[in-house]
Amino acid sequence: MITEKGHASVLKNEFKEPKWKRAFIFSAGGILLAAALIRFLIAAGNAPVLAQPEPLLGIQLRYAVLFVGIVELLVALICLFGKQIEPQIRWLVWLATNLIVYWVGLLLMHSQPKSACWGTLTDPLQLSSGIAGDIVGLVPLYLVAGSFGLALSLWLPKDRRTGRLAKARESANRRDAAAGLIKMSCPACGSHIKFASSNLGQIICCPHCQQVITLRKPDLLKMVCFFCKEHIEFPAHALEQKIKCPHCKMDITLKEPI
């Protein structure tokens, strides 16, 4: 008898997102958190320029800086503590897009970044010159380029990765069939178990939940395609898998019939 846990883990590890993507998101979160804290310090200061109107937003610079700091803090928390990579990337791309639009607006108005709410952070840190100042000055470029690069690497090949995963599952199912293995779901905990066809009818303890179960062939479930309304049959262990409808070829998720 073979549990499905190990097999599923292999497929998951084969197609999971590269570690560098998580590393960039985490680094972006740390940078944005630091930037937000610096902006809060700037907004709490007594610099005369803070009483002037912000070039694009038209409100007092102090409040504009505070608003940008709050936005950066929210995105930083999403990057540092979020669990799903796609929403994190969407927020980073949204922030990067707003930064680009803002800087283009400043350029068209011939305004200086020092008088803007999304201006340079080097002055408060007294790093306006030298290597350290240059590094801090390149941080926005790092965030913008990294965010859009990450979005492209994640979204453009999505269909290709989905197809590769489907092919891997199909190949694994063919190998199981050739080896005489049957896959069923535990009726108690829903975990997958693979066993040799010669063991049909045996009573065992589920290796996952230890409940007593009988090894049997999986029952086929039926559902109706959301698009073409044709009927589809599939084994219980395929629930929640994404496939192409065999009739209309649209992408669907296998759901238990209501």
In total, how many domains does the chain have? 1
Residue 140 included in any domain: yes
Assign 92 to helix, strand or coil. Answer: helix
Q: Which two tokens stand for residue 127?
A: 């790093």
pLDDT for position 248: 82
pLDDT for position 8: 41
pLDDT for position 94: 95
Q: Which long-range contacts (CB under 8 A, 24 or more apart) does 227-230 make?
A: 227/252
The pTM (predicted TM-score) of the whole model is 0.55
Contact between residue 208 and residue 191 where contact means Cβ atoms under 8 Å apart: yes
d(CA 120, CA 124) in angstroms, rounded, equals 9
pLDDT for position 134: 56
Q: Which domain holds residue 55?
A: 15-155
pLDDT for position 49: 78
Beta bridge partners of 2: 194
Residue 73 included in any domain: yes
Which residues of the chain fall below pLDDT 50?
1-15, 122, 124-128, 132-133
What confidence tens digit (pLDDT) does each residue in 16-47 have? 556 888 899 999 999 999 889 988 988 888 87
Residue 122 included in any domain: yes
Residue 25 included in any domain: yes
Consecutive H or E run containing 231: strand 231-235
**How many Å is the maximal CA-CA distance in the chain?**
84
d(CA 180, CA 198) in angstroms, rounded, equals 8
Residue 91 included in any domain: yes
What confidence tens digit (pLDDT) does each residue in 229-255 have? 888 877 766 777 888 888 888 888 888
Give Cα separations from 155 to 94, 96, 161 (angstroms).
Answer: 15, 17, 10
Residue 195 included in any domain: no
Give Cα separations from 234 to 228, 231, 256 (angstroms).
Answer: 17, 10, 10
d(CA 89, CA 77) in angstroms, rounded, equals 13
Residue 6 included in any domain: no
Residue 62 included in any domain: yes
